[in-house]
Structures are given as structure tokens and as C-alpha cells.
Structure 1
Amino acid sequence: IRTVKNSKHIMPWFHLPLQAGSTKVLMDMGRGYTKEEYIEIAGKIREIIPEATITTDIMVGFPTETEADFEETLDVVKKVKFDHAYMFIYSPRYPSKSAIVYKNNIPEEVKGRRLRCLIEEVNIYIKERRELMLGKEYEILIEGPSKKSPSYSKGKTQGNLTCIVPGIFEPGTFLRVKIKEIIGLTPLGEPLQVTSYPVSS
């Protein structure tokens, strides 16, 4: 973590796959960590690099997941406050151990409800984290025009968060922006200064 903090060449983005917040379910999955260990690592990142991006993968509906186990997943979400999460429903994949050993016996409607609940909870904290960006300046790397608003450009912060800005900028441009608004979960930046132009081929 400190290596990332002290380096100009490593971006402060940590992808820490959670999968589940219950230690019991994690052991059933064959994961090599506990809920407590995961929270401790994420906490160290937040302490040492407060502006770092933490993203994750979360699965619901693993065959041994109970309602209590699912609540533990929500508890991790509340404590870590992820910046982004890839969330999905478990489906058996042969010949994986889980598909062979466990029966996929959780009703689809239960899986769907848990996923909807998880997405809602995660988005609360994503919004909270985005609002911390308001009024701050960031350097973003322009990727191209925004798909939703062609008169805007989209880019990535050093923490790999998408940001949109008014105007058309060439892909590969580094642009200094000030975050003025959060639209949905996406920061809207005010262009301040081009810090680097794309290198011509």
C-alpha cells in the first residue's frame, strides 16, 4: 500500500474481490481470507491513501448462503464503502468444486431480491464517495466522446473513475478538471487546463 502511495507510476486503484461477506461462505467457496481480514486490508488502504479507489466483485446466491450470510455481505459494504462493484448472481460452472459439491437450491426470486438489495446498498456508498470529490481538482485521461452526450468528453481519473467534461478533447489528452457536480454516480468536471497532449504516431 505504501509503495503505491509513494509511487508516481502506480495508480491508486485497488481491486479487491470480496465475493461474499460471510467467512463461512468464503470458506465454502475455497477463498483464502476471512471477512475480518478483508475489512482490515481495506481499512489500511483507506487510512494510508484516503483518495484511493477500491473496487470489488460481489456474488449473491451461492448455494450455502443464508439470509444471515447475505446480511454479512451488506455489513462489509457498509464498512468498506466501495467506489465501484461488479455484482452478479451465482450460477454453477462445471467442473468447478461448487457446482459439483453443492446443489444450486436457492430460489431464483431470492437471488434476484438479494442482488437488487445489494445494488441499492452499494450505490448509496458509491454516491457518498463521489460527493467527496466535489470541489476538488483531478487530472483525467481523455478516452473519447461521451456516449450519452456527444458534446461532452469522458475520461478516467488516476483511480480509474469515469468523469465527464463539456467539450470535445482528443483521446489521449491529459486534462486538469474541477468536479462541479455528480450526475447520477458520474462526476462532472469543469475543464481547467490541458496538461499533456496525445503523442503523435
Structure 2
Amino acid sequence: MMRAIAVLKFLVPGLTALLCAACSVSPVTRYYVLNPVIRAEAPAQTDHAPGKRIGISLLRLPQYLDRASIVTRSTSNELKLAEYDRWGGNPEKNIRQVMNRNLSQLLESAGFSVIAADSDLSPELNIEIEITRFERFPDGVVRLSAVWHILDPSGKLLTGRSSDLSSQPVAGASDYDAIVAAMSDLLGQLSHVIADAILHPDAA
């Protein structure tokens, strides 16, 4: 009996240390980025004079989305901030980069060029985009709502409207890889809408 007690006295501290070590290990943090989804297409037909430089002069996110954690909705009114699933960089800059790349792919065959915000060149068409919601909702659908405008260099409004876009339902509320992929697809859809307005301003 005394020997068994001595063995237990020896084992218990070791087991306690192992359990404490296991408890102290945090889940792995995962990082995500949005990606362009547009592929090069056949030369586009345009009603606009080609060769214009295009720039996104404004891209604004609501404050609740402008953070490192990926935001979803657990109810219509309640936001959920992912603890271990985060953006790999600044979300506003990532969205701007994706939109630039998408629009470049959609418009370059018609002779347009999309320039970066820090370019030394001045755009001949300015795009302003204000995103008002961009997250997965409780029904699994990722929704993107944005108000956008196209202006000439003097600030005159040429065209613009609001766009409300929705994805197919993403089954898992914690499947952030699928959620981010759906968000990239929606940015591709928004890029198509804006590119079509640039190519066919009278129709827009």
C-alpha cells in the first residue's frame, strides 16, 4: 500500500503538468484573403471612347467590418467576430486590390486601363464604392450591398446606383474558407456590374 501511494505521489504532479500544458495550447489562428475571380475574356464591345484611365478614388467599409476578425451574423441583429479566423491584411485594401484586378481583366480588352490609388497618373473616370454590408447571414447566404458611382475628373456624376448581391448558401457558419470564397465571387459580380456601366454608359 505504501509503495502504491509513493507511486501515485510521483505520477500526480507529472499528470497535472501535462494537463496544464494541454490546456495552455491555443487553437491555431487562420488567415484569409479575398481573391480576384475574373478571367480574361474576349474583346468587349463598348459604347464609350476607349483608352480611358480608370481609378477607384473611394472605397468605404462600414466600421463594424473594418477590423482584423472576419464578421458574420449569428442573428439578423447580432454580429459574430471570429476569434481565430482573421483577415491576412487590411480588408479595405484587399477589396480595393481585388476590384482593381477584376476591373482590369474585364476592361483591358476594350482599351481601358485601371490604375492604382497611388499612381502618378490621374484617372479619367473615377469610381466611388461604399459597401454597406458584406457578411454571411444566419440563413447561410453571403450578402454584398454597395452604392457606387462613376464620375468624370471634375466630379460630375456620370452614372451610379446601388447593387444588392447574394451568394448561394454557405452551409457551415464556421466554414470561413467557403465564406471568403463566396465573398470573392460577389466582388466579381459587382465588378461585372460596374464594368458594364463603364462599357455601356447610355444603358446604365
Asked if Structure 1 and Structure 2 have the same fold, meaning a TM-score greater than 0.5 normalized by the shorter chain, the answer is no
Greater Rg by CA: 2
TM (normalized to structure 2)? 0.24
Higher RCO (CA-CA < 8 Å; seq separation 6+): 2
TM (normalized to structure 1)? 0.24
